Chain A
Amino acid sequence: MTQTPILTTEGLEKRFGGVVAARDISVALHAGETVAVIGSNGAGKTTFVNMVTGYLKPSAGKISFRGRDITGMSPRDTARAGIRRSFQISQIFPELTALENAMIAEIAALETKGSLSSHAITDARMHAARGVLARFGLEKFADTRVATLPQGVKKQLDIAMAAVDDPAVILLDEPTSGVSVDEKISMMESVITPLMNGEGTVLFIEHDMDIVSRFASRTIAFYEGTILADGPTEEVLRNDEVRKYVIGGTAHA
Chain B
Amino acid sequence: MTQTMMKTDFRREPVYIAVLALLLIAGFFLPSWLRFLLQTALAGGLVALGVAIQMRAGLVNFGQGLYYCLGGYAVGLLSAKLGITDVFVLLASAVVVALLAGALLGLLLARYREIFYAMLSLAVSMILYGVLVKAAALGSTDGFNVPPVTYLGWLPEREIRADVVYTLAAVLVVVSCLVVARYLRSGAGMLCEAVAENEIRLEYLGASPKRIVFFVIVTAAGISGLGGGLLAISTGHVDPLMTNWTTSGGFVFVALLAGRGSTIAPVIGFFLLELVQTYALDIAPNAWQMILGAVMLAAILLLPGGLWSLIDRRGKA
Interface of A is mostly: mixed
Report which A residues bind B (CB closer than 8 A): 53, 74-76, 79-80, 84-85, 91-97, 100, 103-105, 107-109, 111-112, 118-121, 125, 143-145, 161-162, 164
Give B1-15 interface residues, CB cut-off 8 Å to A.
1-2, 4-5, 7-8
Report which B residues bind A (CB closer than 8 A): 1-2, 4-5, 7-8, 185-191, 193-194, 197-198, 200-208
On whether the beta carbons of A108 and B202 are closer than 8 Å, the reply is yes
On whether the beta carbons of A80 and B4 are closer than 8 Å, the reply is no
Partner of A121, one of B186, B193, B206: B186
On whether the beta carbons of A144 and B1 are closer than 8 Å, the reply is yes
Closest to A109 in B: B206
Tally of A-B residue pairs with Cβ under 8 A?
96
Q: How far is the CA of A17 from the CA of B67 in the complex (A)?
A: 47
Q: How far is the CA of A120 from the CA of B188 in the complex (A)?
A: 8
On whether the beta carbons of B187 and A119 are closer than 8 Å, the reply is yes
Q: Which residues of A contact B186 (CB under 8 A)?
A: 118-121
Task: Check A80/B206 contact, CB under 8 A, given A107-B191, A144-B4.
Answer: yes
Task: Check A75/B1 contact, CB under 8 A, given A91-B198, A107-B190.
Answer: no
Q: Say how far B266's CB is from chain A's closest CB, in angstroms.
A: 20
Task: Check A161/B205 contact, CB under 8 A, given A95-B7, A143-B4.
Answer: yes
Task: Check A75/B5 contact, CB under 8 A, given A111-B207, A112-B207, A161-B205.
Answer: no
On whether the beta carbons of A104 and B194 are closer than 8 Å, the reply is yes
Partner of A96, one of B187, B190, B203, B207: B190
Q: How far is the CA of A76 from the CA of B210 in the complex (A)?
A: 12
In the complex, which of the residues A85, A95, A144 has the most CB atoms of chain B within 10 Å of its own CB atom? A95
Q: Say how far A76's CB is from chain B's closest CB, in angstroms.
A: 5
Partner of B205, one of A74, A100, A109: A109
Q: Which residues of B contact A92 (CB under 8 A)?
A: 198, 201
On whether the beta carbons of B203 and A75 are closer than 8 Å, the reply is yes
Task: Check A162/B4 contact, CB under 8 A, given A94-B197, A119-B191.
Answer: no
Q: Which residues of A contact B198 (CB under 8 A)?
A: 91-94
On whether the beta carbons of A76 and B208 are closer than 8 Å, the reply is yes
Q: Say how far B306's CB is from chain A's closest CB, in angstroms.
A: 15
Q: How far is the CA of A93 from the CA of B186 in the complex (A)?
A: 16
In the complex, which of the residues A80, A84, A119 has the most CB atoms of chain B within 10 Å of its own CB atom? A119
Q: How far is the CA of A91 from the CA of B202 in the complex (A)?
A: 9
Closest to B215 in A: A119
In the complex, which of the residues B4, B7, B197, B208 has the most CB atoms of chain A within 10 Å of its own CB atom? B4
On whether the beta carbons of B203 and A125 are closer than 8 Å, the reply is no
Q: How far is the CA of A174 from the CA of B204 in the complex (A)?
A: 17
Q: Which residues of A contact B188 (CB under 8 A)?
A: 119
Some 15 contacts from A to B, beta carbons below 8 A apart, are A76-B208, A79-B203, A91-B201, A92-B198, A96-B193, A97-B4, A100-B8, A107-B207, A108-B206, A108-B207, A112-B207, A118-B186, A119-B188, A144-B4, A162-B205
Q: Which residues of A contact B200 (CB under 8 A)?
A: 75, 91
Q: Say how far A103's CB is from chain B's closest CB, in angstroms.
A: 6
Partner of B5, one of A74, A105, A143: A143
On whether the beta carbons of A79 and B7 are closer than 8 Å, the reply is no
Q: How far is the CA of A79 from the CA of B206 in the complex (A)?
A: 5
On whether the beta carbons of B7 and A96 are closer than 8 Å, the reply is yes
